[in-house]
Amino acid sequence: TGKVLFDYIKKQVLFHGATGKVAFDDNGDRINAEYNIVNVQGQDQQVSVGQYLYSNEMNRMRLKINESRIVWPGRPKSKPEGLEIPKHIKVLTIEEKPFVYTRELEDYETETCNPDEIPCPHFNSSKDDMRMFCCKGYCMDLLRELSKTIDFTYNLTLSPDGQFGSYIIKNNSGGKKEWTGLIGELVNDRADMIVA
């Protein structure tokens, strides 16, 4: 069955794979993974500008960025100046294993998230209710690292409609197309950042 195969794969270790050591944790996430941070420059040109990788010295994942290789929006080579980055931002995410795992708290008055998790409530505006979840995974680790490196705090919530986003004609828009999902929240200034 699929679960037996999944459990078998999680137990495997490849010490000298093409991308280094390959091993998995209990969730099936790769341990000691290395990810390239890519800057899209032009139509099809993708340039590696950094890495998110495991540091043996620090015993944790580490973010390295080479800002001199980044081409910023509008094509300047230097980092834009004069933009004030808020110190506290609203971040949205969505469950997408293995990048984001969610776990619902049955009683959020008495239960708390584990140290490797971030509280991420889900607000349902159509039902006017809130359910508390805890989020973890690669994207949450990356959010923590960005928060430390750039020096900001955040509130994390799950996508209200549980969708990444589509560009569609909505019934109440008079035939005009609008973004839904995470992208819609960002475009309509109801979020500052998406981590997914």
What confidence tier does 154 reach under pLDDT thresholds 50, 70, 90?
very high
Say how far apart CA 172 and CA 174 lie, in whole Å: 6
The dihedrals phi and psi of 143, each to the nearest 5 degrees, come to -60, -45
Instruction: Confirm or reject CATH 3.40.190.10 for domain 84-196, answering yes or no.
Output: yes
Question: What is the reported pTM?
Answer: 0.61
Query: pLDDT per residue over 108-144, tens digit each?
Result: 778 899 999 999 999 876 667 789 999 999 999 999 9
Q: Which tens digit of pLDDT belongs to each residue from 19-42?
A: 777 888 777 777 777 888 999 887
Nearest one of 135, 120, 119, 148 to 60, comparing CA atoms: 148
Q: Judge whether 69 and 47 are in contact, CB under 8 Å.
A: yes
In this predicted structure, what is the pLDDT of residue 29?
Answer: 77
User: pLDDT tens digit string along 40-70?
Assistant: 887 778 899 999 887 778 777 788 999 888 8
What is the Cα–Cα distance from 32 to 60, expressed in whole angstroms?
8
| Average confidence (pLDDT) over 149-155 | 91
